[in-house]
Amino acid sequence: MRVESRSQPQSAPSTRGDYAAPAPGADLARGHSGPQVLELQKKLNAAGIQPPLKLDGLLGPKTEAALMKLTGSKTFDATAQSALSTRLPSAGKGDDFETTSSKPTLPEPPAAQAVNVATQPPPAGSVAEKTLAIAQQELGAVDPRKTGADGRYHGWQKLQTIFEQATGWRPSDKDVQASSQPGGKSWCGIFACNVLQQAGANVKWDLTKGKMVGDVQHVLAPSFKDYRTYKTERQAFEASIKPGDVITLNGKTNHHAIVTSVNPDGTVNTIDGNKPHIGEGKFKLADVTSFYRPTAS
């Protein structure tokens, strides 16, 4: 008796040649390919899918499985978009614990003009210019890696003052000497807030909310709600960042840094607190989740 082999049904193409771009307005599904799928894969990785997806722009079985795991849907429709957005790193987090529910209006300068403006130094006498000058002076003022003349880490008194001026809370000598994170609090945002205060901005750091408050605009990066408009919105957001702004960054903790320059290669140079010292950094604009900008000029 001849036994016929039973072929397994395929729910979607399995080779690169069998993938195709989605029709305009169509929801993404297995078998689709192109930049929209690539953006989806990036967001799934950012949401923490393990192992990370290969960024090949092909919606195959692994991408479908990741989508199903994080959203409960095999199709990237409006419901799945909403579900995935809740899993992405929050642009509103502060020094490890800030949350926010509102999204301020994103400035929308012409993209080409914004890039040119962002790469220029701030106007003379502006809060931004003063911010950069003061931040430069603060480099190395606190450094737990070094020992001061009193046998404690270098700059512990300075850190105590930074906390008091920025938050209104003065950690005790014992607490600040024992740890460069008194009260268990990270202070990258607190440091940035204090620099803005010294530059003349009417701001302070709210320890209960973990965010900068006062006469300051907090602009959040666009959320990935609609893949058809996200790229343009993201480009406009990155183009609007200027020297003197305080950015927040993706990561295990939401790091804060003062932008000193915006570079043509899509990076920014920064001065940061809690590195664990006050030092310089460099980050990708693609990793920026929000920025603070004083409303006073």
Residue 106 has what pLDDT?
46
Does one domain contain both 159 and 279? yes
* Cα separation, 91 vs 244, whole angstroms: 19
* Cα separation, 66 vs 16, whole angstroms: 19
Among the three residues 85, 100, 121, which one is the final residue of a domain in this structure?
Answer: 85
Does one domain contain both 173 and 231? yes
Cβ atoms of 231 and 103 within 8 Å: the answer is no
Domain that residue 20 falls in = 16-85
3 in any annotated domain? no
- CATH number, domain of 58, equals 1.10.101.10
* Cα separation, 245 vs 239, whole angstroms: 12
Does one domain contain both 58 and 130? no
Question: What is the pTM (predicted TM-score) of this model?
Answer: 0.63
Cβ of 258: how many Cβ atoms within 10 Å? Answer: 29
Does one domain contain both 77 and 162? no
Does one domain contain both 191 and 283? yes
Q: How many domains does the chain have?
A: 2
Q: Is the pLDDT of residue 113 over 70?
A: no
Does one domain contain both 179 and 143? yes
Does one domain contain both 157 and 225? yes
Environment class of residue 118 by beta-carbon count within 10 Å: exposed (0-12), middle (13-18) or buried (19+)? buried
183 in any annotated domain? yes
Cβ of 41: how many Cβ atoms within 10 Å? Answer: 23
Whether a cis peptide bond, with omega within 30° of 0, leads into 51 is yes
Does one domain contain both 119 and 233? yes
Q: Is the pLDDT of residue 189 over 60?
A: yes
Does one domain contain both 147 and 46? no
135 in any annotated domain? yes
Residues 221-251 have pLDDT tens digits of 998 877 788 899 999 999 999 999 999 998 6
Please tell me the total number of residues recorded for the chain in this structure.
Answer: 297
45 in any annotated domain? yes
Does one domain contain both 75 and 179? no
Does one domain contain both 115 and 80? no
Does one domain contain both 21 and 149? no
What integer is the mean pLDDT of 139-147?
A: 96
2 in any annotated domain? no
23 in any annotated domain? yes
123 residue type, one letter: P
145 in any annotated domain? yes
Q: Is the pLDDT of residue 31 over 70?
A: yes
What integer is the mean pLDDT of 6-13?
A: 40
Give the end-to-end CA distance of the chain in Å, rounded to a whole number.
Answer: 88
95 in any annotated domain? no
* Cα separation, 234 vs 293, whole angstroms: 18
